[in-house]
């Protein structure tokens, strides 16, 4: 069912979408399995509408997942510019698993609301949770095709697998393939990149990683800043090492030569140095000197402030001796 997509579209996914889907899933899951400490009177089945089996028994402990993990459904919105599809945000949808139908009125209502706040975003597709794309997903996909002629399907696998190294998010597109003589729509996998704006990156970093929560001293700020750059460089280094090992193995003959990969590596290497022109050097030095100038000015301010304090203390200390006359102010 899933092979490489050939539509030539590049997909960019924002982390907000991933956190959104994860939050939706966690919410639904925790409403279904109330934690042990709560009383057994709450019935969660009355509130959630989009899970396949509402387990209303409050005696279920959170650890023993009596019900299989629910599937949640929603819409993804974003911008499409030419061949680049950028997915910015998402919202929930109501899906009736019995009739396998989407609640259209709800979808339209939500779309209207989101249009008011984010007027540039269009519905690009839909999302769901699970480990693999299923048969019924095609129905939803087709239902959305009248809004967007080629919607995308974002699938998140919510099972936490600590050995996993890659994001459990896959993006599928639909393509018309001829199978057994019948043209059918099937899902094909597409690759995607993670795209973020600076503010998004900082807040994701903040919640996930190594940044201090408040000012702290200048030393801790410096440490935090350098640590994040250090981790990024470490990643870069590890990736390059992997490539290096691979190339060495290829040279020794352990792995068959793959020319396309070699071409890519060679083009990558040829891109260094990244920028090397007179103008760049000039601009870079100018920026450098600007920053040094700012440091210099700050030092000056600091010095003059300290001087001022010194003078005032001096004045206060020696005020008694020289009364109303002959006191020249230090300039």
Partner 1 sequence: MDPYPSSSALIAQKTWELENNVITVDTPPTSTNSTADASSDAIFYYDETAQAKFQQDRPWVNDPHYFRRVKISALALLKMVVHARSGGTIEVMGLMQGKTDGDAIIVMDAFALPVEGTETRVNAQADAYEYMVDYSQTNKQAGRLENVVGWYHSHPGYGCWLSGIDVSTQMLNQQFQEPFLAVVIDPTRTVSAGKVEIGAFRTYPEGYKPPDETVSEYQTIPLNKIEDFGVHCKQYYALDITYFKSSLDCHLLGLLWNKYWVNTLSSSPLLGNGDYVAGQISDLADKLEQAENQLAHSRFGLLIAPPQRKKEEESQLAKITRDSAKITVEQVHGLMSQVIKDILFNSIRRSSRLCTESSGPEPMVES
Binding status of residue 40 toward partner 1 by CB under 8 A: no
Least distance CB 8 / partner 1 (angstroms): 22
DSSP assignment letter at 150: S
Q: What are phi and psi of 273, to 5 degrees?
A: -65, 150
Using CA atoms, how far residue 160 sits from 130, 166, 168, in Å, is 12, 12, 9
For tokens 């099972």, what's the residue? 159
One of 42, 52, 101, 131 touching partner 1 (CB under 8 A)? 42
Least CB distance from residue 52 to partner 1, whole Å? Answer: 14
Q: Which is nearer to partner 1, 184 or 322 (CB)?
A: 322
Q: Which of 131, 231, 251, 264 binds partner 1 (CB under 8 A)?
A: 231
Q: Which of 164, 184, 191, 264 binds partner 1 (CB under 8 A)?
A: 164
How many chain residues are in contact with partner 1, going by CB under 8 A? 121
Tell me whether residue 75 or residue 188 sits nearer to partner 1 (CB atom). Answer: 75
Sheet holding 169-179, edge to edge: 182-190, 169-179, 152-156, 122-129, 73-81, 84-92, 10-13, 192-194
Give the Cα separation of 112 and 17 in Å (integer): 19
Nearest to 79 by CA among 13, 145, 8: 13
In b/e form, how buried is each residue of 138-177, taking b as 16+ CB within 10 angstroms?
bebbebbeebeebbbbbbbebeeeeeeeeeebbbbbbeee
The Cα–Cα gap between 57 and 71 comes to 19
Longest CA–CA separation in the chain, Å: 110
The Cα–Cα gap between 187 and 2 comes to: 6
- Answer whether the bond into residue 273 is a cis peptide, omega within 30°: yes
CA count, 13 A, side-chain hemisphere, 230: 9
Nearer to partner 1, 83 or 320 (CB): 320
CA–CA separation, 229 and 232 (whole Å): 5
With CB under 8 A as the contact rule, the residue among 135, 146, 149, 166 that binds partner 1 is 166
Strand partners, 73: 128
User: Which window, 34-42, 78-86, 131-139, 173-181, contacts partner 1 (CB under 8 A)?
Assistant: 34-42
By the rule CB under 8 A, 234 interacts with partner 1: yes
> Can residue 191 be called a binding residue for partner 1 (CB under 8 A)?
no
Tell me: does residue 305 bind partner 1 (CB under 8 A): yes
Q: Is 212 in the site for partner 1 (CB under 8 A)?
A: yes
- Quick check: 228 binds partner 1 (CB under 8 A)? yes
Establish if 277 lies at the interface with partner 1 (CB under 8 A): no
Smallest gap from Cβ 202 to partner 1, in A, equals 6
Residue 289, interface with partner 1 (CB under 8 A)? yes
Interaction of residue 98 with partner 1, rule CB under 8 A: no
Site mask, partner 1, residues 107-146, x = CB under 8 A? --xx--x--xxx----------------------------
Indicate whether 163 belongs to the interface with partner 1 (CB under 8 A): no
Q: Any contact of residue 22 with partner 1 (CB under 8 A)?
A: yes
Which residue's CB is nearer to partner 1, number 80 or number 118?
118
Residues 51-70 touching partner 1, rule: CB under 8 A, are 62-63, 65
């Amino acid at each position: 069912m899933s092979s490489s997509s050939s539509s030539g579209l590049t997909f960019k996914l924002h982390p907000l979408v991933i956190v959104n889907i994860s939050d939706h899933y966690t919410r639904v899951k925790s409403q279904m399995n109330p934690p042990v400490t709560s009383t057994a009177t709450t019935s969660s089945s009355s509130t959630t509408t989009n899970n396949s089996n509402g387990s209303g028994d409050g005696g279920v402990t959170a650890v023993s997942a009596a019900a299989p993990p629910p599937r949640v459904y929603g819409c993804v919105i974003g911008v499409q510019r030419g061949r680049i599809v950028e997915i910015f945000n998402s919202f929930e949808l109501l899906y009736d698993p019995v009739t396998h139908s989407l609640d259209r009125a709800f979808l339209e209502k939500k779309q209207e609301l989101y249009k008011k706040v984010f007027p540039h975003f269009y519905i690009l597709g839909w999302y769901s949770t699970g480990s693999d794309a299923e048969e019924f997903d095609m129905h939803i996909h087709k239902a959305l095709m009248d809004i967007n002629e080629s919607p995308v399907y974002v699938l998140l696998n919510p099972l936490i697998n600590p050995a996993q190294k890659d994001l459990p998010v896959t993006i599928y597109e639909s393509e018309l393939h001829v199978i057994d003589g019948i043209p059918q729509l099937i899902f094909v996998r597409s690759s995607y990149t993670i795209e973020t704006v600076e503010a998004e990156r900082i807040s994701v970093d903040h919640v996930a990683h190594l940044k201090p929560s408040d000012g702290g001293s200048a030393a801790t700020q410096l440490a935090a800043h350098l640590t994040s750059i250090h981790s990024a460089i470490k990643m870069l280094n590890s990736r390059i090492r992997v490539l290096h090992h691979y190339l060495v193995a290829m040279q020794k003959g352990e792995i068959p030569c793959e020319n396309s990969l070699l071409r890519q590596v060679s083009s990558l290497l040829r891109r260094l140095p990244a920028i090397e022109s007179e103008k760049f050097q000039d601009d870079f030095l100018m920026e450098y000197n600007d920053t040094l100038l700012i440091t210099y000015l700050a030092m000056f301010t600091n010095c003059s402030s300290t001087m001022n304090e010194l003078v005032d203390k001096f004045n206060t200390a020696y005020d008694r001796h020289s009364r109303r006359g002959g006191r020249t102010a230090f300039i």
